[in-house]
Structure 1
Amino acid sequence: MPTTLLHRLLKAALAASMLLGALGASAQNGKTEVLWLGQASVRITTPGGKVIMIDPWLRTNPKTPASFKNLEALGKIDLVLVTHAHFDHVADAPDLAKMHKVPMYGPAGMNQTIATLGVLPVDLAPRFGKGGTIMPFGPNGVKITATHAEHSSEFVWKNPATTKEEVHVGGEPVGFIIEMENGFKVYHMGDTGLFGDMKFIGEYYKPDLLLIPIGGHFVMSPADAAYAVKNYLKPKYALPIHYGTIPVLRGTTAEFSAALGNEANKMLKVEPGEKVDF
């Protein structure tokens, strides 16, 4: 190969490398974007540009905006997380995992059931559990740790051979501490009641943002959620989720704000389909 051509190719490769490096640095200096889509369905875009979908119940969710009931409207997805096996959290997760050919991480027992039943292939249903930490995008990327959640987890599956619904083991419900590339921490609490070790989670993980259920009945009430914010978790921000989709989830943001009292400024009032940056 002529020397001049070789030099040109090397210069082009170096320029491309520098451009990619600059783009990477720009992404790392970005923000964390949180898009709430109703119930516990949240799409997070990390400062490094990775897109994580948590608890996707979209197509039949009465609070999900019509524009997001088509799963393709979510855009690219790099990872799916599911806190437990109830339909309003796992409903659209397997289809998203298959659509984007990305793993759906969830409680070990739930994913064991999902793989065994053939809902997802084993490679798209990796297992981990409470206290476990994954780094799905490499050692310098996002860190995700599974935490305790005070709830239940059953997986309802329609058997194609009988057309009847069956209830299967759904593993232990979890929450997720998601630490971004820049250190910002989001705690998606999943479905949970109030429990004392939230104090430990607050002291040890120090979450900046809570995605906190307030609906009551199956999860914390607004008063319980406010107690967790003020006395246990002490975040900078609290975004209420998991309310208003069915009649028994009657907790409201007004009640949550009132219960927060002097810390009401921590609450982020977001409607489904709206997003906030940090």
Structure 2
Amino acid sequence: MNDNTLGRRGLLRTAVAGAALLPMAGAGVAAGAGTAAATEPGPAPGGGGETVYTWLGTTGWRIEGNGKTVLFDPYVTRFPTDGFNPKTRLTVAPKLIDRHIGTPDLVLVSHCHWDHFNDVPYIAKSKGVQVVGTATTCFLLRAMGVDPDQLIVVKGGEHLAFDGFTVQVAASLHSRNAKHQYWVPGTLTGPTATAPRTIGDLPEGDTLAFQVRLGDGPSALLTGASDFVEQHYAGLKPDIAMISTESTAHSVHRYVPRILKALDNPRTVIPVHWDTFESPLTDPAVQDTTMDLDGLIAQTRELSPETRLIRPEHLTPLRLRA
């Protein structure tokens, strides 16, 4: 583990065991996405409270600090879909989920596609925890047996205060493929009596991003897809940005330059949604060749040379201080 300066207000410190702390522009190391090299800045002074971020693969995180645990898009089960066959049955692995989610105080859901939503009904029912999501997210959870009293519907623009932490909500957008389309668009306008059984039964249901701060720890923006609206990110200025990686199709105009500018060039960027999400979470992350991780890293280095990049590893804690 190494302590490295990373912060915005004061400094962030991180202990990175297994994750790749990628060199900044001008560091003299031509490291690509697969390089686990790191620069060695000077020692960091003490700052705010520590927050621990554990990557659950795809866009998922377990976030712990100030005596609280928040989950974002926790997809631990990771089952094969035969090339995204919409008839693939939804399935959960309770023992595996329980092993990796801790004792959550809140669950945040960006949207309803299975690689973000699949494990949430089980977590909500087994832990009795509240879930924050779109109306579609909450309608689906009700249909799958979650108590409506556990559901918090948001649209974007909310700034919610919980015991020991805060959550800002930003309306966002879903990624697009080479045809400028995306998987199972659509929303629900009311409760449904039919519980989803297959991955094709889960529409996108609108997409959200969340900025979370536990106690006096760093603020972290959590994204669930590689598109966004500049106006909805204005003023967030997160200490850490978990930026979803765009595909090699590059269907969204100037995605990386626009998101860096909208977020005021975060001091720390952690790329997400670049791994193949059908391999076991307990295995090292394998880069999905259709996701342009190298491009995100290269553009961030060029456009925001003071930004520190961390490539996460499955189940590897990142300890950060504000």
TM range (shorter): 0.7 to 0.9
Query: Is the counterpart of residue 98 in structure 1 residue 116 in structure 2?
Result: no
* Alignment equivalent of 1:131, drawn from 149, 157, 165: 157
Q: Residue 126 of structure 2 aligns to which amino acid in structure 1?
A: M
Residues of 2 paired with 1:220 and 1:276: CA distance?
A: 31
Query: Is the counterpart of residue 216 in structure 1 residue 258 in structure 2?
Result: no
* Counterpart in the other structure of 2:262: 232
Closer/same/farther in 2, CA of residues 79 and 220 from structure 1, 3 Å limit = farther
- The higher relative CO (CA closer than 8 Å, separation ≥ 6) is in 2
* Counterpart in the other structure of 2:181: none
**Shift, 1:250, TM fit:** 2.0
Secondary structure at the aligned position of 1:268 is classed as strand
Structure 2 gap segments, 5+ residues each:
1-46, 81-93, 175-184, 278-286
* Counterpart in the other structure of 1:185: 219
Map Cα deviations across residues 110-160 of structure 1 (whole Å, 9 max, x no partner): 213422x243110122212211122232xxx211121021125658x9957
Secondary structure at the aligned position of 1:32 is classed as strand
Closer/same/farther in 2, CA of residues 184 and 165 from structure 1, 3 Å limit = closer
CA contact (8 A) 1:210 1:235 kept: yes
* Alignment equivalent of 2:297, drawn from 257, 261, 270: 257
* Alignment equivalent of 1:244, drawn from 275, 291, 295: 275
Closer/same/farther in 2, CA of residues 185 and 249 from structure 1, 3 Å limit = farther
Closer/same/farther in 2, CA of residues 218 and 31 from structure 1, 3 Å limit = farther
Residues of 2 paired with 1:45 and 1:164: CA distance?
A: 32
* Counterpart in the other structure of 2:64: 45
Closer/same/farther in 2, CA of residues 176 and 276 from structure 1, 3 Å limit = same
Query: Is the counterpart of residue 60 in structure 1 residue 78 in structure 2?
Result: yes
Closer/same/farther in 2, CA of residues 217 and 120 from structure 1, 3 Å limit = farther
* Counterpart in the other structure of 2:115: 88
CA contact (8 A) 1:94 1:104 kept: no
> Quick check: which has more Rg, 1 or 2?
1
CA contact (8 A) 1:244 1:250 kept: no
**Shift, 1:213, TM fit:** 0.5
Q: Residue 89 of structure 1 aligns to which amino acid in structure 2?
A: H
Q: How many residues align?
A: 236
Stretch of structure 1 that moved more, 37-46 or 183-192: 183-192
**Shift, 1:190, TM fit:** 1.6
Which structure features the higher share of helix residues? 1
Residues of 1 paired with 2:159 and 2:249: CA distance?
A: 27
Residues of 1 paired with 2:310 and 2:251: CA distance?
A: 17
Residues of 2 paired with 1:41 and 1:56: CA distance?
A: 5
**Shift, 1:252, TM fit:** 4.3
Residues of 1 paired with 2:145 and 2:296: CA distance?
A: 38
Map Cα deviations across residues 85-131 of structure 1 (whole Å, 9 max, x no partner): 1111001011112221111111123213422x243110122212211
Aligned Cα root-mean-square deviation (Å)? 3.5
* Counterpart in the other structure of 2:314: 272
Residues of 1 paired with 2:160 and 2:154: CA distance?
A: 8
**Shift, 1:241, TM fit:** 0.4
Closer/same/farther in 2, CA of residues 219 and 276 from structure 1, 3 Å limit = farther
Residues of 1 paired with 2:144 and 2:197: CA distance?
A: 16
Residues of 2 paired with 1:73 and 1:254: CA distance?
A: 32
* Counterpart in the other structure of 1:71: 97
Q: Residue 214 of structure 2 aligns to which amino acid in structure 1?
A: M
**TM-score (normalised: structure 2):** 0.63
* Alignment equivalent of 1:175, drawn from 198, 209, 215: 209
Secondary structure at the aligned position of 2:71 is classed as strand
Closer/same/farther in 2, CA of residues 91 and 169 from structure 1, 3 Å limit = closer
Give aligned-pair identity as a percent.
21
The equivalences for 1:9-24 within 5 A come to: none
Query: Is the counterpart of residue 114 in structure 1 residue 141 in structure 2?
Result: yes
Closer/same/farther in 2, CA of residues 168 and 227 from structure 1, 3 Å limit = closer
Closer/same/farther in 2, CA of residues 227 and 132 from structure 1, 3 Å limit = closer
CA contact (8 A) 2:230 2:258 kept: no
